[in-house]
Structure 1
Amino acid sequence: FALDANIVYMGSTGGNIYRSTNGGNSWTAINTGSTSPIIYGIYFFDANTGFVTGASGYVKYTTNGGTSWNIPTVSVTATETRIFGRKSPDEIYLLGDVNNIYKSTDYGTSWTTIPYKYSQQTIGLATNTMDINGTVMVTGGVNGLLNASTNSGINWYGISKVLNSINIYDIEYHSGTGKVWAAGRGTTGISNAILFSSDRGITWRTQSTPAGADYRSISMADENTGWVVGQNAAVIKTTNGGENWTEVTNVPSPTQTLTRVHFVNANTGWIFGYSGGSNLFKTTNGGTSWITQNYGSTDNGARWASMLDASTGYYITYNVSGSRIFKTTSGGDNWAENFYPNPGNLWSIKMINANTGYICGDAGRLFRTTDGGNNWETVTPPGNNNYTTTDWYDINNGVLGAGSGYTARTTDGSQSWLIKNTGGSSVWNVEMTHPDTIWCVQNFGYIFKYTYGSSTGITEWKNEIPENYILKQNYPNPFNPTTTIEFGLKKAGAVSLKIYDITGRLIDVILNAMHFNAGFMKITYDGSKLSSGVYLYSLEIDNRIIDTKKMVLIK
């Protein structure tokens, strides 16, 4: 914690606190009499009055610059007690409790308890950070907790995700009404794993299901009728937009995990699953009855499927030694294998029309067909990543989702890509509802909707290979507040692009060891959070500095 440019405090393991009065050039130990094995938080209002927090509810404060320390009249039940403070008005907040935040406006003499769970949050999750702007409060914490209040903590709601302990695997968007459904796996005692938004993702709530399950796939035939399948042969159906979900029991002997459900209209749909050749089911009367079909393969069922219409569709087999592709033109009665180069682990297939489609998989595998699956050609993606999902709006506009938590979008049929880091974990599914609008779902309840109105923070990759590594001068230069940085890679590698001040102090990291294939990259950098001045930007490939250049920010 830095009180000003000279006075800086630092906590450590062992409960030790150190203070510097010369901007960090030298440090002096401060004895707090700590019994905490680690210090998690420090905040000082001035040179005399400050707080420290640590493990197991540890809180102490001083009013004489650390000469002596006292225990405040507040009890925090927390594994890791953290702190947030601000001035004008002088306020201190204690974080880490799974149910409450504790606030003091008189330097710890008295405390107010602020419950921060919202109505659909059924379990307490510990906060570890927060911020305040006027009456708006935002808290972040474990399992992706992200709650907000617009009235100083009186009422709370979830931001972007309503249930923080759901790993979300599939999403369904109804363009006519703006309704969105997401299905996944509940954890930490959470059983309901279907989320719903009626306002294009602005607000979310849970929908009650018959029993907790690891849901893997959702298909809405229209805004009212839909199906969800998952682990333990779970099949549920709604006829009122998810207000009620009922268990489906007339599917003939499904086993193990059901991986995909796909309805091409209100009557015709399929359920795909693991566990051999017979875990495939079809209905032609809206689920009144089902028949069993055969995959035509000895592999362990289907990982992913894409049905174009009532006759034509594809599926990818689940096989640890290498996935296979199968196609039907008879509505699933018969399946024939399609062959593709560089066999390996495949994750997702999307057929855009009867001729054109894409398949993605591990280790940078991306394949395209333009003749209905008879031939598949290798397409070079931005990096050698594990691509877990893909979706396409048309033959030009598509998106990839990666296990490393980023998306890659193309607007020219995979000739170039715009890369966006979601900041979350593995992307399990993406849906492109418009050439400029992408939804993606991830672990810990993350649902991202991104509208491409600006290229700020997005890396554009083109498959044009330079003879040598290149870092170009940014443009415009000077700039305010955005500038474009271009660089080229002669071969694949882990790329880092870092910003330093003129003294060599690291200021910002644009790319951090992100893997790219050989080619040219272009990224728009936003310097609005920086002060006017001269900065250095440095390109590193595989932890080796390639080049460094100057740029000037003038506000």
Structure 2
Amino acid sequence: MIIKIFFLLVIIQNYTSIVFSQNNWVNQSSGISTRLYSVYFINSNTGWASGDSGKIIKTTNGGSEWFIQNSTTSLPLLNIMFADANTGWAAGGFDDFNPLCYHSVILLKTNNGGNSWIQQISGAGFLFNDLFVVNAQKAYITNTGICCPPFCIVESGALSFTNNSGLNWSSSLGLPSRSVFFLNENTGWVSSTTSSDVQGNKNYIHKTTDGSVSWSEMYEDSTWTYFTKITFINELTGYAHKQSLVKTTNAGADWFSSDSIITNSTTNNYFINSDTGWCTGGGGKIIRTDNGGLNWTSQISNTGSHLTSVHFIDALTGWAVGFNGTVIKTVTGGLTSVNQTSGIIDSFILNQNFPNPFNPNTTIQYSLSEKSFVTLKVYDVKGNEIAALVNEKQDRGNYNIQFSTIKLQLSSGIYFYRLEA
């Protein structure tokens, strides 16, 4: 399938008209100003984000509107993830590096999409660094334990899991753990770190193929940069952050830098397949790769806030969140124009609509080089579908599609259209 999106940015002055256009990423109003650390969507409409002061926000219309849920805690929620529309967890806590080295920990669970949250684990304990939900029954949480510089003798911590939707939690790997990812119910990876004044620092990658019954050490090093945000695309190919983005092609046995200059200031990643992924970081930084990290392209995020988390549901539709309650969305994969061929020669040509600006009618022209099933849709700047102009199989040839705003009663603004064939 080939996807093309056409844009033209025009400043509308003192007249009523419609303009087809689209920024890379569009700001959405979260309704809060606190830091957001994690975002997760189960489909194009329903998603959640979590952050400081126990904030959890939810949308049911793709982010056009967000509303605050009652999390029952004021502790930072560093991660949020759902198994389905009803079952999800949020995890976090607080580090207070004082002489007593006090940590507060929190793990929340919902069975109704976040309408109500219950505290499964709370109180003094080890900060939960990461969370991964395999299904409604099984989930994992990581913690690195307590280490109080400059008297860091030994860290304690573990990877814990539940097989009964959080009623009970058990230790699976008795090492201070940072990031966890599962490809399916059986196959997963976890990064861990041990540190002491005597033995120094050690970083590990472990893998399981039996649902965490047993773990095999895949990697070890003695550097002071540890693995965070592990993501695997298949049994062999994975990505993680280790100061910069690193990649493995042999299930985690070896890792190599993926263009460390451009990925150095990023802290989070999301890959939709082995080739296409995004990294986010400070200053509103978003970069994208379409060749497995060999090359990266900077994208216009339209924010200067630190972006802490990014999540996509397909190659085009995704969200990123960050400081100051920032939520941004793209329906173009973050690109200002899209021509994703996956090695296939273009089968159509999409032209700019004319006239543009227009009121109330415009013509969209395209050409097909072969018989194809074609969809042509119009969207607003928030990514909401406005109209489906074509949704059928068409023969080779040239097409002129008329688009009228009369029945739609669209307000003056900026819109864009997308052709798939």
TM-score by length of 2: 0.62
**Partner of 1:219 in structure 2?**
81
**Partner of 1:239 in structure 2?**
111
Once residues 208 and 453 of structure 1 are traced to their aligned partners in structure 2, the CA distance between those partners, rounded to angstroms, is 32
Q: Deviations over 1:228-269 (max 9, x none)?
A: 1110221111111001111114x9x98221122212111111
Contact 2:219 2:254 in 1 (8 A): yes
Q: Deviations over 1:303-323 (max 9, x none)?
A: 222122222222223568564
State the Cα RMSD in Å. Answer: 3.1
Q: Which amino acid aligns with 1:222?
A: D
**Partner of 1:433 in structure 2?**
313
**Partner of 1:310 in structure 2?**
185
Once residues 37 and 161 of structure 2 are traced to their aligned partners in structure 1, the CA distance between those partners, rounded to angstroms, is 22
**Partner of 1:424 in structure 2?**
304
Residue 263 in structure 1 maps to residue 133 in structure 2 = yes
Once residues 28 and 173 of structure 2 are traced to their aligned partners in structure 1, the CA distance between those partners, rounded to angstroms, is 43
Once residues 454 and 207 of structure 1 are traced to their aligned partners in structure 2, the CA distance between those partners, rounded to angstroms, is 29
Cα offset for 1:388? 0.6
Residue 280 in structure 1 maps to residue 280 in structure 2 = no
1:195 is matched with which residue: 57, 61, 65?
A: 57
**Partner of 1:161 in structure 2?**
30
**Partner of 2:210 in structure 1?**
330
1:368 is matched with which residue: 247, 255, 260?
A: 247
Once residues 454 and 277 of structure 1 are traced to their aligned partners in structure 2, the CA distance between those partners, rounded to angstroms, is 41
Q: Deviations over 1:259-284 (max 9, x none)?
A: 22212111111111120444432111
Contact 1:424 1:446 in 2 (8 A): no
Cα offset for 1:450? 2.1
Cα offset for 1:369? 1.6
**Partner of 1:348 in structure 2?**
229
Contact 1:392 1:398 in 2 (8 A): yes
User: Where do residues 453-532 of structure 1 align in structure 2 (5 Å cutoff)?
Assistant: 455-456=335-336
Residue 395 in structure 1 maps to residue 274 in structure 2 = yes
Q: Which amino acid aligns with 2:105?
A: A
Q: Secondary structure at the match of 2:52?
A: strand
CA change 1:406–1:311 in 2 (3 A) is: same
Contact 1:316 1:347 in 2 (8 A): yes
Q: Which amino acid aligns with 2:35?
A: N
**Partner of 2:40 in structure 1?**
172
Q: Secondary structure at the match of 1:395?
A: coil
Q: Secondary structure at the match of 2:142?
A: strand
Q: Secondary structure at the match of 1:434?
A: coil
Q: Which amino acid aligns with 1:310?
A: E
Contact 2:42 2:313 in 1 (8 A): no
Greater relative CO (CA pairs within 8 A, separation 6+):
2
Once residues 393 and 306 of structure 1 are traced to their aligned partners in structure 2, the CA distance between those partners, rounded to angstroms, is 14
Cα offset for 1:440? 1.3
1:446 is matched with which residue: 307, 326, 329?
A: 326
Q: Deviations over 1:33-55 (max 9, x none)?
A: xxxxxxxxxxxxxxxxxxxxxxx
Contact 1:226 1:238 in 2 (8 A): yes
User: Where do residues 46-65 of structure 1 align in structure 2 (5 Å cutoff)?
Assistant: none
Once residues 307 and 242 of structure 2 are traced to their aligned partners in structure 1, the CA distance between those partners, rounded to angstroms, is 13
Once residues 73 and 239 of structure 2 are traced to their aligned partners in structure 1, the CA distance between those partners, rounded to angstroms, is 35
Q: Which amino acid aligns with 2:264?
A: N
Once residues 32 and 194 of structure 2 are traced to their aligned partners in structure 1, the CA distance between those partners, rounded to angstroms, is 33
Q: Which amino acid aligns with 1:264?
A: V
Cα offset for 1:457? 11
CA change 1:270–1:369 in 2 (3 A) is: same
Q: Which amino acid aligns with 1:380?
A: D
Q: Which amino acid aligns with 2:211?
A: G
CA change 1:428–1:412 in 2 (3 A) is: same
217-226 vs 328-337, which moves further: 328-337
CA change 1:283–1:304 in 2 (3 A) is: same
**Partner of 1:210 in structure 2?**
72
CA change 1:316–1:405 in 2 (3 A) is: farther
Once residues 447 and 371 of structure 1 are traced to their aligned partners in structure 2, the CA distance between those partners, rounded to angstroms, is 35
Q: Deviations over 1:47-101 (max 9, x none)?
A: xxxxxxxxxxxxxxxxxxxxxxxxxxxxxxxxxxxxxxxxxxxxxxxxxxxxxxx
**Partner of 2:239 in structure 1?**
358
Residue 379 in structure 1 maps to residue 258 in structure 2 = yes
Contact 2:28 2:326 in 1 (8 A): no
List alignment gaps of at least 5 residues for structure 2: 1-12, 15-26, 94-103, 146-154, 196-200, 339-421
Residue 181 in structure 1 maps to residue 48 in structure 2 = yes
Once residues 238 and 251 of structure 2 are traced to their aligned partners in structure 1, the CA distance between those partners, rounded to angstroms, is 8
CA change 1:339–1:206 in 2 (3 A) is: same
Cα offset for 1:329? 2.7
Cα offset for 1:220? 0.6
Q: Which amino acid aligns with 1:236?
A: L
